[in-house]
Amino acid sequence: MTNTPNNSKVNPTDRRVDEKESKISKDTNFVIQIAGAAIFGALSIVSSLFLAPLLPRVPGMPIAYIDPISFIWITCFLLFGVKSGLLCISISTIGLMFADAQNAPWGALMKFVATISLIIVPILLLKLYKNEEGIRKSQVLKKPRNYIITGAIGTGLRVILTLILNIILALTIYAPFIAYMSLEFLGHPEITGMTVVFIAFPLINAWQSVFDLGIPYLIVFGLKFDERYELW
C-alpha cells in the first residue's frame, strides 16, 4: 500500500505567519482604539468649552435641552469599541473638571454618570453574547431591537442615578438656589423648590437620552462607518 501525503496538515511556517499577522492586527487595532479615545476625548472638551455656552438651556436651571458631549462619547464607543469608549469618557471627564471651571466638578461628574449609564447596559449585553464566527460585536448593537431595549434600560438607570445626585446637590451645594427654580418651561411657574428636582431632571435626562443614543447610532450605523472600518 502506498502512503499518500496528508494535505490537511498545516505547515508550521504558515501557522507562525498567521499568528504574527494576527498579533500585528490586534496591536494595530489597540493603537487605533487608544487614538480614537484621545481624539474624541479632546473633541468633547473643545465642544464643551466653545459650543456648550451657545446651547439653549432650561430656564432657571444649569442644564441644556441637548448636550453634544454625550453624542461624542457614545459615537466613540459605537465606532471604536468598549475599551475606547470607556477610556474616552474617563479622560474627558477628568479634562472637563479642569477645563470647565464654572461647572466643575459637578457638571462633569453628572455628565459622566448620565453617559456611563447609557453604555453600561450594552456592554453587559456584549459580555453575555456568545460570539458567532464572522459576526462582530458592534453588529449586535446595530440591530435596532437590541439597541432600543438596552437604550431604554440604560435611560431608566440614568434617570435614577442622576436623580439621586441631583437630590444630593440640591440639599447641599445648590441649596440656596433651589427656591428660584420652577417648572415655567413646562407651563407651571407656580411649581417650585424640590418638586422641580423630582419632576424636571428625570424628564430632561430621559429627553436627552433619546438624542444621546439616536444621533450616534445614525452617525455610526446609518452612515455605515462600522462597515467601512470594521474596528470591533
State the DSSP string of 129-142. Answer: PPP-TT--HHHHHH
pLDDT at 214: 97
Asked whether the predicted pLDDT for residue 175 surpasses 70, the reply is yes
pLDDT at 85: 95
Average pLDDT score, the chain: 85
Asked whether the predicted pLDDT for residue 55 surpasses 70, the reply is yes
pLDDT at 134: 58
**Would you place residue 20 in the very low, low, confident or very high pLDDT band (cuts 50, 70, 90)?**
very low
Question: Among residues of the chain, what percentage have pLDDT more than 70?
Answer: 85
Asked whether the predicted pLDDT for residue 46 surpasses 70, the reply is yes
The listed range with the strongest mean pLDDT (8-22, 56-70, 166-180) is: 166-180
**Would you place residue 16 in the very low, low, confident or very high pLDDT band (cuts 50, 70, 90)?**
very low
Q: Report the pLDDT averaged over residues 4-24.
A: 49
Asked whether the predicted pLDDT for residue 147 surpasses 90, the reply is yes
CB 125 within 8 A of CB 150: yes
Asked whether the predicted pLDDT for residue 24 surpasses 50, the reply is no
pLDDT at 50: 85
**Would you place residue 209 in the very low, low, confident or very high pLDDT band (cuts 50, 70, 90)?**
very high
Q: Report the pLDDT averaged over residues 16-44.
A: 76
Q: What pTM, to 2 d.p., does this model score?
A: 0.84
Nearest-5° Cα angle at 1, 8 to 10: 10
Phi and psi torsions of 66, nearest 5°: -135, 135
Give the burial string for 23-57 (b: 16+ CB within 10 Å, else e). Answer: eeeeeebeebbeebbbebbebbbebbeeebeeeee
The alpha carbon torsion through 214, 217, 151, 210 (nearest 10 deg) reads -10
pLDDT at 165: 94
